Structure 1
Amino acid sequence: MTGTGRLRVALIVGSTRAGRFGPTVADWFAGRLRRRDLDLDRIDLADAGLPDQLTGHDEPAPAAVRDLGDRLAAADAFIVVTPEYNRSFPAAVKNAIDWFDTEWAAKPVTVVGYGSDTDGGHAATQLRQIFGELNAVPIRRTITITKTWQRFAADGTWPRRDPELDEAVNTLLDQLLWWATALRTARTTTPFVR
């Protein structure tokens, strides 16, 4: 997207494991995003069909990579919804990151991390470092949720009101959308220096 109009936010579901909880967390967060004036593109890595092996720089990208690349290029901001496995994030997330370069550049990114005994904080910290290397702009705010399976009802809603989490989500979205607007303006008015 260039210049004006509604911001486009890509919500990336990072878990591809059987029986995963990621879509439930993503449903909840997508509901929060829909309260804002923006376009939401939900990308589920379990459905993306990205190959595990990267091609050489002089080889054409597979169709699944081109398709996802177009969606990422159109986004003004990214939210990665990821579980924490073994103090890190799933391989599918790293694979999706590594297939692309310029698609991430000069755009804000944040993480919604979750886990059973952990809160996703290790995954969020590592992803901030990786996205920084790709010239994306990891914002300060992230959301981390511990004991996720106990906090959601079967229909994906919170079983109880959580004012602290509500405030954290609102603050994160305010910051993400501020950066998305500022960086979109910068991308369309000045050349990006890599």
Structure 2
Amino acid sequence: MAAPTTAKRVLHYLLFKGTVREGNYGTRVCTFLKKTIEERGNKATVIDPEVLDLPLLKKPLHFYQDRSQAPQVLHDVDKLIRDCDGFIFVSAEYNQSLPPALTNTVDHFPPASFKHRPAGVCTYSMGRFAGVRAGVIIRAFLSEIGTLHIPATFSIGEVHKAFSEDGVPTEDRTKESAARMLKELDWYATAICDSKEKYGAPST
């Protein structure tokens, strides 16, 4: 007897673009990832710090005693964070560390909003090391806000050669590397969603 089949869960991911520096390649990477996610039957929303234009962090959402006094953009993005099924953090490497635009964006929101969801890590650089040093640092950062960073990564060396201006990869290996990460992210996100529906989220 054939095993019963179930409908595929449609997952919604947030892609956090990490940099606003002039001439950055993060837009190309996010364009490619968003399209690839959608081709897999899921949904993706890009959180672009240049579009959000949040100020240098002085008062995050969770520091407002009366949250109704917080800017509406913080409420809107916080809802996206709380409602999504997982994250992908797209980070360049600045001085062997993370871009300030990425941490400034994330730190505007309470860690509780990120908890109990999987996170994929995508790093890139114009050199051959593909931003791996930023990738090491971001794992501690993601653990602190309560996400589960998955083992598979998507690292892009010589990013200026890897994509056309409209985010089309120039080599098949780029597609294959992204597919490995997204397949694993889908597995973790689906498992966590199923567990939450059956048992609820862990109490903290």
Q: Superposed, which structure 2 residues align to 1:98-137 within 5 Å? A: 98-100=107-109, 101-117=111-127, 118-137=129-148
Q: In the alignment, is residue 151 of structure 1 matched against residue 162 of structure 2?
A: yes
Deviation at 1:84, TM superposition (A): 0.9
Q: Superposed, which structure 2 residues align to 1:1-194 within 5 Å? A: 5-55=9-59, 56-58=63-65, 60=67, 61-100=70-109, 101-117=111-127, 118-159=129-170, 161-163=171-173, 165-188=174-197, 189-194=199-204
Matches of 2:37 and 2:201 in 1, distance apart? Answer: 30
1:142 partner SS? strand
Matches of 2:66 and 2:55 in 1, distance apart? Answer: 14
Matches of 1:103 and 1:58 in 2, distance apart? Answer: 17
Matches of 1:9 and 1:109 in 2, distance apart? Answer: 9
2:39 partner SS? coil
Deviation at 1:5, TM superposition (A): 4.8
Q: CA RMSD in A?
A: 1.9
Matches of 1:96 and 1:27 in 2, distance apart? Answer: 19
Matches of 1:186 and 1:76 in 2, distance apart? Answer: 12
Q: Return the letter of the residue paired with 1:13.
A: K
Q: Closer, same or farther in 2 for the Cα pair 1:5/1:158, shift >3 Å?
A: closer
Task: Count the aligned residue pairs.
Answer: 189
TM-score of the aligned structures, taking structure 1 as reference length = 0.88
4+ runs of 1 displaced by more than 3 Å?
A: none
Q: Percent identity?
A: 26
Q: 5+ unaligned residues in a row in structure 2: which ranges?
A: 1-7
Q: 5+ unaligned residues in a row in structure 1: which ranges?
A: none
Q: Which moved more, 1:53-62 or 1:105-114?
A: 53-62
Matches of 2:105 and 2:66 in 1, distance apart? Answer: 18
Deviation at 1:81, TM superposition (A): 1.3
1:40 partner SS? strand
1:139 partner SS? strand
Deviation at 1:72, TM superposition (A): 1.0
